[in-house]
Amino acid sequence: MATDDFFRSRLDQMIDLRHPLVVLSSRMPWTQIEAALAPAFARKHREGQVIEGTDLFGTTLEIAGSSVSMAGRPRLPIRLMAALLYLKHAFNFSDEELVVRWSENVVWQYFSGLDYYTPTLPCDATQIGRFRTAIGEAGVEELLKATIDTAVATKAVRPAEFERVIVDSTVQEKAIAHPVDSRLLEIARAKVVQAAKSAGIALKQTFIKEGRELRRKAGGYAHAKQFKRLRRTVKRQRTILGIVLREIKRKLTTATAQSGASITRLTTLMARAERIRTQQPKDKNKLYALHAPEVECIGKGKARKPYEFGVKASIAVTHKSGLMVGARTFPGNPYDGHVLNQQLEQTAILLEGTGKAPKQVIVDLGYRGVDADNPRVQIIHRGKYKSLTQQQRRWLKRRQAVEPAIGHLKSDHRMDRCWLQGSLGDALHTVLCAAGYNLRWLLRAILRLGLKALFLRPLLLSLLALVLHRSLTRTCPAPHGSNAVATGAGG
Is it the case that residue 68 has pLDDT exceeding 70?
A: no
pLDDT in tens, 146-156: 999 999 999 99
The residues near 225 (Cβ < 8 Å, ≥ 6 apart) are: none
pLDDT cut 70: percent of the chain above it: 87
Range 367-379 average pLDDT = 93
Pick the closest to residue 290 from 185, 196, 216, 373 (CA basis). 185
Q: How buried is residue 295: exposed, middle or buried, by Cβ count under 10 Å (0-12/13-18/19+)?
A: buried
Is it the case that residue 47 has pLDDT exceeding 90?
A: no
Per-residue pLDDT band at 72 (split at 50, 70, 90)? low
Per-residue pLDDT band at 484 (split at 50, 70, 90)? very low
Is it the case that residue 476 has pLDDT exceeding 60?
A: no
Q: How far is CA 399 from CA 171, 264, 283, 322, 364, in A?
A: 18, 49, 35, 11, 8
Is it the case that residue 491 has pLDDT exceeding 60?
A: no
Phi, psi of 286, rounded to the nearest 5 degrees: -80, 155
pLDDT value of position 471: 76
The one-letter amino acid at 475: T
Is it the case that residue 15 has pLDDT exceeding 80?
A: yes
Is it the case that residue 322 has pLDDT exceeding 70?
A: yes
Range 253-264 average pLDDT = 78
Per-residue pLDDT band at 252 (split at 50, 70, 90)? confident
pLDDT value of position 276: 95
Report whether 335 contacts 325 (CB < 8 A).
Answer: no
Range 164-175 average pLDDT = 96
pLDDT in tens, 338-370: 999 999 999 999 999 899 999 999 999 999 999
For residues 408 and 284, the model is more confident at 408
pLDDT in tens, 189-215: 999 999 999 988 999 999 999 999 999
- Euclidean distance between CA atoms 402 and 78, whole angstroms: 32
Range 417-430 average pLDDT = 95
pLDDT value of position 463: 72
- Please, what's the b/e burial string for 241-269 (b: 16 or more CB within 10 A of its CB; e: otherwise)? bebbbebbeebeeeeebeeeebbebbeeb
pLDDT cut 90: percent of the chain above it: 74
What's the pTM? Answer: 0.85
pLDDT value of position 487: 38
Per-residue pLDDT band at 385 (split at 50, 70, 90)? very high
Is it the case that residue 71 has pLDDT exceeding 90?
A: no
pLDDT in tens, 265-294: 999 999 999 999 999 888 888 999 999 999
Is it the case that residue 481 has pLDDT exceeding 60?
A: no
pLDDT value of position 490: 40
Phi, psi of 389, rounded to the nearest 5 degrees: -80, 170
Is it the case that residue 307 has pLDDT exceeding 60?
A: yes
pLDDT value of position 148: 97
Per-residue pLDDT band at 60 (split at 50, 70, 90)? low
